[in-house]
Amino acid sequence: MKNDHIAGIGIDELQRLYVTPVKKAFPYIYRAAMEVDWDPGRKRLFSPKPKEWSYSRWYQQILAAVEDEYGTRLSLSSRTKWVNVDNELKEAILKSTIGLA
């Protein structure tokens, strides 16, 4: 299993959750058929705008898609930047990450 850290997590102008890896690119993530996509210009993964799932569930889906399609585990670090993420969502993501470990 390969590893990469998460440089940033945020909510974009279209209300989609995004995850920016530090080093790796995932241009073919769509092949995982998990509704996760790659923005080549911004070099980040993103989910659709949540409807039925929460942002924290989409975060888990993004991580699962990367692991499934690329064999890479993304992980938070003390340097991860949080953009447009309120404290409640940040805590939910952190708790969901503990469950994945």
pLDDT digits (tens, 9 = 90+) for 37-61: 999 999 999 999 999 999 999 999 9
DSSP letter at 1?
Answer: -
Band of pLDDT at residue 101, cut at 50, 70 and 90: very low
Alpha-carbon gap, residue 6 to 47, rounded angstroms: 15
Q: Which of 99, 98, 26 is nearest to 67 (CA)?
A: 26
Task: List domains and CATH numbers for the chain.
Answer: 2-100 (2.20.20.40)
- Residue ranges of the alpha helices (H) in the chain? 55-70, 87-100
pLDDT, tens digit, for every residue of 60-73? Answer: 999 999 999 999 99
Q: Please answer whether residues 26 and 37 qualify as being in contact, where contact means their C-beta atoms are separated by less than 8 angstroms.
A: no
Structure tokens at 13: 């102008």
The mean pLDDT of 16-26, rounded to a whole number, is 97
Work out the pLDDT band at 1, boundaries 50, 70, 90. confident
**pLDDT value of residue 50:** 92
